A and B are shown apart, each in its own frame.
Chain A
Amino acid sequence: MPVSVANSKVVYEALKAVDVRIMSALPETWLVHLLHQAEEEEGVGISAGAHFVGVKSAMLMQNHGFLASVNGIVSFALLYKIPLLMLVSFRGDLGERDPWQTQGSLVTLPVFRALGIPHYPLSDPATVPRTIRQAQQLAESALTPVALLLTRDLMWEETA
């Protein structure tokens, strides 16, 4: 399987290390080794509920899942200042082979900017634990959603 098992495990262990106890996730190809949610917007409410009672959580989804959950992010996470840690697989960027993934990638970063949500790429497994820890810290201190983009460099192992 070209999806990187090793780097999926790095992300998984990094989330465990910062005491993330609840993950909501909608599976897609890149995320098969990471997890299993019916609809992305749901995750905003789940994370808010966990936050209200003091439990750390994260959302895991594809960039199209992020686009689908924008109303929930605005109407709940931003309105109520929820420290939402989002891990977003960034499909359709450099090296993408599936034509259908490419339109979403062109609007993902502009939508993050429009919403005022800090967002950073995750490309190097060596920096994953530190960046996840820092993103969670920023989300909690700023009381805002923070997104980490799981790039192709991190999630995909090219076959020869």
Chain B
Amino acid sequence: MSGTAGADERMRRDGALAAVYPALARDDVVVVTIMGTVAVELYQLGHRPNFFYLEHAMGLASSLGLGIALSLPSNPVVVDGDGSLLMNLARSPLSPATTPPT
């Protein structure tokens, strides 16, 4: 990134993904992403067998993660997209209400 001040210095999505990648690249973590750019960028950082990229079903990556959380002793990590988030705003109050195991 350039040294110019302002918006250019904010962390971008690819930078954020690279920052959290070491925490995701572990055999004991299930990672779910929604389709699109976020899936492509995580894939390009290095695909691993614990990564699942949900194609087509926009809005449901977080629901998929909730189903996994309710079924496994450990919680998955969901990497959602802004559009997908907007398509399933009802997820927000639901997830804490179901108190998946931590």
Residues of A in contact with B (beta carbons under 8 Å apart): 21-22, 37-39, 41-55, 57, 72, 75-76, 79-80
Enumerate 12 A-B pairs (CB-CB under 8 Å) in ascending A order.
A22-B71, A42-B88, A45-B64, A49-B63, A49-B66, A49-B69, A51-B67, A52-B52, A52-B67, A53-B68, A55-B71, A75-B56
Within 8 Å CB of B64, what residues of A?
A: 45-46, 48-49, 52, 76
Are B94 and A38 in touch, CB under 8 angstroms? yes
Are A22 and B70 in touch, CB under 8 angstroms? yes
**How many A-B residue pairs lie within 8 Å, measured between CB atoms?**
89
Q: Which residue of A lies closest to B32 (CB)?
A: A49
Are B71 and A53 in touch, CB under 8 angstroms? yes
Judge if B23 is at the interface, Cβ distance under 8 Å: no
Are A42 and B94 in touch, CB under 8 angstroms? yes
Which residue of A39, A46, A79, A80 is within 8 Å of B67 (Cβ)? A46
Q: How many residues of B contact A (CB 8 A)?
A: 26
Q: Which 6 A-B pairs have the closest CB atoms?
A: A49-B67, A45-B63, A45-B60, A39-B90, A38-B90, A76-B57
Residues of B in contact with A (beta carbons under 8 Å apart): 52, 54-72, 88, 90-91, 93-94, 97
Are B63 and A46 in touch, CB under 8 angstroms? yes
Are B91 and A42 in touch, CB under 8 angstroms? yes
The CA of A46 and the CA of B90, in the complex, are separated in Å by: 13
CB of A139 to closest CB in B, whole Å: 16
Within 8 Å CB of B60, what residues of A?
A: 41-42, 44-45, 48, 72, 75-76
Q: A45-B60, A49-B67 are in contact. List 11 more A-B contacts (CB 8 A).
A: A22-B71, A38-B91, A42-B91, A44-B57, A47-B67, A48-B63, A48-B64, A53-B72, A72-B59, A75-B56, A79-B57
